[in-house]
Each structure stands twice: as C-alpha cells, then as structure tokens.
Amino acid sequence: MKGVRVGQRGAQQIASSPELLKVSVFATALGYWALLGRDKLLYAITVGQPDARAAQSSFANPFDGLPIDPMVSDWYPGLRQRLEHYAAGDRVKFDDIQLYHPPRTSFQQQVVDVTRKLKYGETITYGELAARADRPRAARAVGTVMSSNRFPIIIPCHRVVGAGGGLGGYSAPQGLSLKTRLLELESE
C-alpha cells in the first residue's frame, strides 16, 4: 500500500486523540455566553453566566462522551459575532446554524422544530406549542423539552410563555429575569 508512512508512536497518537470540542467564551450586555462545538457544528450554548469562568465551566467534560479542549478559543467567530449583535438588540436569524442534537422522541423533535421557527419577537404559550406539535394536552411535556434546551437563543425557548401572560420558567443562570430581558429586547 502506497501513501504516507506513520511510525508506531505516531499511529498511536492519531488513534488515541479524538477531536476535541472547542469552547468560545464572550461577554455581552446579557452576561457571559459560551459556545461549545467543533467546525461549524454547535453542541451547546450557555447564556447569562456571571463571569467567563462560569461560562466555560458550564459544560461538563466530557460532553456527550467527547472531550473538551481546556483552552478557550474563538472557534466559530461568525456565530459569536451574530450572538453579540443579537444581545445588543439587533435582529439576527440563526436558522442556518447546524446543531448536534442528542436523541429525541418524535414529539420532542416536533416541539424543537416549531420553537426554532418562531420569529423574532413572537411568543407562544406552552399549550399552543403542544397543539402545534400535535399533542394539545402536553403543555407540561413542552415545558420539560424547553428546560433541557441546549441551544437557547438558537432554539428560542424564551419565546415560550405561560398561559394567561405568565412567563413560565427559564433555566439559564439568571432565570426569569434573563427571560424578561430577552423578551423586552425583542419587543423594542
């Protein structure tokens, strides 16, 4: 077989060094945010962290069985810049961002798909979202799906609110205060 010849030690290093997930941490007017992924594939995002260290450490290592590079890098500057613009109040779309999805049921996937299509500034209740996902009595199940969202802002779970005008919940570190700020940002 012709090709590049790799010594035994080199072959072991290649075989034992899986591609690391990269972390990008940046400050916004809405707290510190961090992205996790590789190439142009986003594995997770965290928003509203109190400082850079909290943002970086919000991802468990390993993440979905993949090791995380301990060095922070600006691995996806285009997405970081778009998120910075969003946090500054600019209308930004994220529908082209590729996401690494953990396994989901068909109902969970429908909820995520409907949520991702919500327009900037649009809100929907948990019950309405359940109905759009063909399970009109599953408002609580929608809340469970939203609480495990790895991609806040990209899958805009902050746009899902309670019936009667209540906010519902928000699992980011700043909780409902951040959800309120995001909704206010989008209503301006």
DSSP string computed for the chain: --S----HHHHHHHHH-PPPEEEEEEEETTEEEEEEEETTEEEEEEEEESSHHHHHHTS-SSBTTB-EEEEE--S-HHHHHHHHHHHTT-----TT-EE-PPP--HHHHHHHHHHHTPPTT--EEHHHHHHHTT-TT-HHHHHHHHHT-S-TTTS-GGGEE-GGG------STTHHHHHHHHHHHHH-
For residue 176, the domain's CATH number is 1.10.10.10
Q: Number of structural domains, the chain? A: 2
Domain that holds residue 62: 19-87
Same domain, 111 and 180: yes
pLDDT tens string 81-128: 999 999 999 999 999 999 998 899 999 999 999 999 999 999 999 999
pLDDT grade, residue 1 (50/70/90)? very low
Q: 150 lies in a domain?
A: yes
Same domain, 118 and 143: yes
Q: 2 lies in a domain?
A: no
Region 119-146 average pLDDT: 95
The answer to whether the predicted template modeling score (pTM) of the entire model surpasses 0.75 is yes
157 part of the active site: yes
pLDDT tens string 14-24: 333 468 999 99
Tell which of 45, 61, 87 closes a domain: 87
Same domain, 76 and 146: no
Tell which of 87, 117, 135 closes a domain: 87
Same domain, 124 and 168: yes
Catalytic residue of the set 30, 55, 130, 157: 157
Same domain, 118 and 79: no
Q: 12 lies in a domain?
A: no
pLDDT tens string 41-71: 999 999 999 999 999 999 988 998 999 999 9
Percentage of residues of the chain with pLDDT beyond 70: 90
